[in-house]
């Protein structure tokens, strides 16, 4: 089915592989940067050293993840040119400036302040140090803003014209940036990043709680993360629902595929399970709930739902992939909601740090935020096929005139390097997270003193004042 | 307003800032095997750790800016340089993660030190090859690259590759000389002159070779009146080398570093004189490749506000980490 001598298939595999790896890192660094800025701010406001402990604990994995994100992102910004040159020539005048803004308002901000955030504590004052953390977090969010604008424009193009060279040229920048699917996608992705990070923090907290539930920083991170999940998970379900309705309006073929609706019909069922058969146009082994399909997409049980039969066969995306990636994402989202609820219940029962069931659930769900993020992106990106710019430019017409052996060789090299580098990076991050944060203030002070410098002395003074005030 | 011209200038400046900044931190990597022990390597890494990420971001601006302002050039040049670019990116991945990994690895620190060296070396080499392959001309039909995937290999591109390695090593040595003290600094200082001599040798060789590549290049350098722009460049190169020699003699590390950077700037200007007004040498000019004014103007608004801000806080970051690296370096 997959022709490995076709340079376009190879280029697609390469892009899918590199971007799937890449998205893991921003999903973490967006959430973790905000978390670090938040605990940094709490530390500055309250002077409670527990926040400083949490900052010091989480900045180490953050530094590793951020480094991996930078280098895997660099690959992305060149891959458009190496592998998708026709797309770049045609779409460059529209998406290029958006990416230019991303570099100027996000990458430079992150990179410029990251050095101060990571290494600057004994070089700058506490307030400037906090400002650096804040700017890094702001940079990650600005980056999400621009790149999701680009992605959304490829899904729901607006505000453009086509010139005599066949290029998409800008007509109205406001319409381009705030294209119809952008607000939904942005909110959905930022929530996803926050939720993913909260799950990782909760999972890490749970791992340590199961061994020692008296460690104060561990309790604090677990409690903060579960508050976060309880708040964000339901909001994310709402945002996802709205995003789905928006997609149904602008990309009905994508929604038909991910819901497994081959035929247009009213009072459509919602398939919970099954295997979409693209040859027969049926869902094999289907388990479904009647009427629910219509209700989810229109909030009306009897409404007519557009099926794939409304579109040419050559315009269909891959149905089984979409059907399953979507179900895994939604299923995990519901589990996250349950975890948040469970956290609330145990909190009100006063058993937040004692409930073994809660800790084990949080630990098991810890890494699954990434699975949900990946499945979400697979749903939206595979759902955009067979187009790069939805409805306007086909994927087969977007690739570079590069010979198959070149693409195949680079694909193999990239897969090997990525698995090695990022696999090892994951090991290092897990190793850091397996260490329990220091509990006693004395230990913390000594480690600060060891770093030397007058700033450390200043921080120690601040600590003593706050301890005296308490 | 001629937006295409403004953007050509902004991109030229970005690429130069990239070369000037990442050049010295790649150079530190290239010199890594000359460092004697763990402590020296830690010190060298600390001399660049707080700034390397910002330095590399200029490369992203170069790539992203080219896509935005000159999409046709982006879509012709990148497939033509497919192999060197992919190699450069993979090399940058290895060396980029080495900064963190060498701290966290328990038994394999030596491996990441070598990865840091190898990645820096390959990144520099492939950048030089890309430069040479670009300069020797890219085959174009219609709006697409028309050559094969090995066209970038030539004696000339290999020579420019080696030239960039040597030049970056010079910048790296000048940076280590500036940021460290003691035996490490003394040893590296003694390398600056040989590296500068090597760099000048490469400059002469590449400059003599370039006019032979294409008739247009020789016209630029040897015909009246364009010679007027070209002639001061070699003279200034000579003066810069003299100034570099004297700075080393007097132990003026900062001045020596800026002299090394000035050599790069002069070569860069010489390169500009050679290829102007092409963006894909001998085939596509800046104006032919430019995006519509509406794209260029939109991004220009951002650039006018952001680029000075970026320069200011980049300078601030360098200022915060000024002076010699303390024993053992920085931690987080």
Per the DSSP assignment, residues forming a β-bridge with A265 are A305
Count of Cβ atoms closer than 10 Å to residue A348 Cβ:
9
Per the DSSP assignment, residues forming a β-bridge with B284 are B280
**How do the domains of chain B map onto residue ranges?**
3-209+285-320
Q: What are the structure tokens assigned to B317, written together?
A: 């970051």
Task: Determine whether the interchain pair A115/B292 forms a contact, defined as Cβ–Cβ distance below 8 Å.
Answer: no
With left for phi above 0 and alpha for psi between -120 and 50, is residue B137 left, alpha or beta? Answer: left
Q: What are the structure tokens assigned to A222, written together?
A: 């677990």
Contact B179, B325 (CB under 8 A): yes
Task: Determine whether the interchain pair B60/A107 forms a contact, defined as Cβ–Cβ distance below 8 Å.
Answer: yes
What 3-state DSSP class applies to A399? coil
Helix (H) or strand (E) holding B214: none
Size of interface A-B (CB pairs under 8 A): 245
Residue with tokens 């539930």: A213
Report if pTM > 0.90: no
Residues B85 and B98: their CA atoms lie apart, in Å, by 20
Of A82, A119, A406, which is closest to B49 when you measure between CB atoms?
A119
Q: What is the pLDDT along chain A (470 residues), one digit of tens a residue?
A: 577 778 888 888 889 899 998 999 999 999 999 999 999 999 888 888 888 889 989 999 998 898 888 888 888 888 888 888 889 889 989 999 999 999 888 888 888 888 888 888 878 888 888 899 999 999 999 999 999 999 999 999 998 999 888 899 999 999 999 999 999 999 999 999 999 999 999 999 999 999 988 888 999 999 999 999 999 999 999 999 999 888 988 888 888 888 888 888 888 888 888 888 888 878 888 788 888 888 888 888 888 888 888 888 888 888 888 999 999 999 999 999 999 999 999 999 988 898 889 999 999 999 999 999 999 999 999 989 889 998 888 888 888 888 888 888 888 998 998 899 889 889 989 999 998 888 865 455 555 555 444 455 555 555 554 444 43
Q: Which of A10, A82, A397, A448 to mutate to test the interface with B (most CBs of B within 10 A)?
A: A82
What 3-state DSSP class applies to B330? coil
Burial of A73: CB neighbours in 10 Å, binned 0-12, 13-18, 19+:
buried
Cis peptide before A197 (omega within 30 of 0): no
* B63 contacts in chain A (CB < 8 Å): 77-78, 81
ipTM of the complex: 0.85
* A63 contacts in chain B (CB < 8 Å): 100, 332
Distance of alpha carbon A142 from the chain centroid: 14
Nearest-Cα residue of chain A relative to residue B106 = A428
A117 to A2, A63, A111, B102, B320: CA distances (angstroms): 46, 10, 10, 20, 12
């Amino acid at each position: 089915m997959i022709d490995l001598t076709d340079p376009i298939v190879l280029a697609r595999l390469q892009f899918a592989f590199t971007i799937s790896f890449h998205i893991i890192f921003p999903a973490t660094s967006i959430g973790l940067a905000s978390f670090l800025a938040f605990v940094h701010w709490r530390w500055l406001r309250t002077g409670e050293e527990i926040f400083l402990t949490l900052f010091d604990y989480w900045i180490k994995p953050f530094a590793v993840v951020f480094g991996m994100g930078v280098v895997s992102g660099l690959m992305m910004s060149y891959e458009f040119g190496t592998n998708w040159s026709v797309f770049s020539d045609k779409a460059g005048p529209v998406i290029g400036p958006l990416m230019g803004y991303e570099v100027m308002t996000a990458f430079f901000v992150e990179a410029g302040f990251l050095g101060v955030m990571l290494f600057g504590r004994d070089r700058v004052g506490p307030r400037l140090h906090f400002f650096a953390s804040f700017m890094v977090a702001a940079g990650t969010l600005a980056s999400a803003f621009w790149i999701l604008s680009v992605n959304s424009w490829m899904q729901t193009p607006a505000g453009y014209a086509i010139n005599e060279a066949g290029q998409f040229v800008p007509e109205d920048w406001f319409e381009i940036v705030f294209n119809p699917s952008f607000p939904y996608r942005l909110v959905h992705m930022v929530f996803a990043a926050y939720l993913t990070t909260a799950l990782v923090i909760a999972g890490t907290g749970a791992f340590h709680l199961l061994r020692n539930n008296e460690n104060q920083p561990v309790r604090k991170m677990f409690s903060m993360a579960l508050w976060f999940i309880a708040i964000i998970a339901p909001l994310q379900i709402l945002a996802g629902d709205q995003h789905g309705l928006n997609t149904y309006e602008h990309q009905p073929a994508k929604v038909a595929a991910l819901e497994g609706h081959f035929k247009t019909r009213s009072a459509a069922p919602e398939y919970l399970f099954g295997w979409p058969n693209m040859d027969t146009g049926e869902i094999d082994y289907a388990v479904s709930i009647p009427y629910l399909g219509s209700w989810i997409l229109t909030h009306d049980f009897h409404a007519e739902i557009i099926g794939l039969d409304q579109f040419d066969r050559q315009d269909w995306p891959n149905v089984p992939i979409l059907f399953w990636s979507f179900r895994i994402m939604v299923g995990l989202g519901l589990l996250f909601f349950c975890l948040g609820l469970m956290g609330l219940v145990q909190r009100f029962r006063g058993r937040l740090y004692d409930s073994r069931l809660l800790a084990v659930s949080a630990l098991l769900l810890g890494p699954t935020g990434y699975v949900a993020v990946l499945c979400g992106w697979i749903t939206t990106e595979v759902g955009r096929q067979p187009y790069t710019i939805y409805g306007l430019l086909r994927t087969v017409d977007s690739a570079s005139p590069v010979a198959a052996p070149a693409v195949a060789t680079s694909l193999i090299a990239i897969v090997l390097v990525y698995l090695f580098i990022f696999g090892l990076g994951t090991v290092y991050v897990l190793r850091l997270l397996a260490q329990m944060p220091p509990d006693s203030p004395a230990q913390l002070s000594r480690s600060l003193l060891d770093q030397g410098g007058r700033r450390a002395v200043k921080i120690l003074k601040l600590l003593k004042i706050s301890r005296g005030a308490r | 307003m001629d937006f295409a011209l403004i953007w050509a200038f902004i991109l030229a400046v970005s690429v130069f800032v990239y070369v000037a900044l990442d050049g010295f931190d790649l150079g530190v990597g290239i010199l890594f095997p000359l460092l004697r022990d763990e402590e020296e390597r830690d010190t060298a890494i600390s001399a660049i750790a707080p700034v390397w990420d910002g330095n590399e971001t200029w490369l992203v601006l170069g790539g992203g800016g080219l896509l935005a302002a000159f999409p046709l050039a982006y879509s012709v040049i990148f497939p033509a340089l497919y192999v060197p670019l992919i190699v450069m990116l993979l090399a940058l991945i290895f060396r980029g993660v080495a900064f963190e990994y060498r701290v966290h690895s328990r038994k394999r620190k030596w491996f990441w030190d070598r990865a840091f060296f190898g990645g820096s070396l390959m990144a520099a080499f492939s950048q030089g090859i890309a430069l040479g392959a670009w300069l020797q001309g890219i085959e174009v039909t219609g709006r697409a690259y028309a050559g094969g995937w090995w066209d970038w290999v030539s004696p000339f591109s290999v020579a420019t590759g080696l030239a960039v390695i040597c030049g970056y090593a010079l910048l790296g040595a000048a940076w280590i000389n500036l940021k460290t003290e003691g035996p490490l600094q003394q040893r590296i200082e003694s390398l600056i002159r040989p590296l500068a001599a090597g760099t000048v040798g490469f400059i002469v060789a590449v400059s003599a070779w370039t006019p032979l590549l294409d008739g247009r290049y020789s016209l630029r350098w040897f015909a009246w009146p364009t010679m007027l722009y070209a002639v001061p460049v070699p003279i200034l190169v000579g003066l810069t080398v003299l100034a570099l020699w004297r700075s080393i003699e007097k132990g003026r590390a900062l001045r020596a570093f800026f002299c090394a950077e000035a050599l790069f700037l002069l070569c860069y200007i010489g390169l500009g004189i050679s290829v102007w007004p092409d963006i894909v040498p001998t085939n596509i000019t800046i104006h032919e490749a430019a995006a519509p004014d509406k794209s260029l103007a939109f991004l220009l608004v951002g650039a006018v506000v952001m680029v000075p801000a970026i320069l200011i806080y980049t300078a601030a970051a360098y200022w915060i980490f000024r002076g010699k690296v303390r024993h053992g370096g920085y931690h987080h």
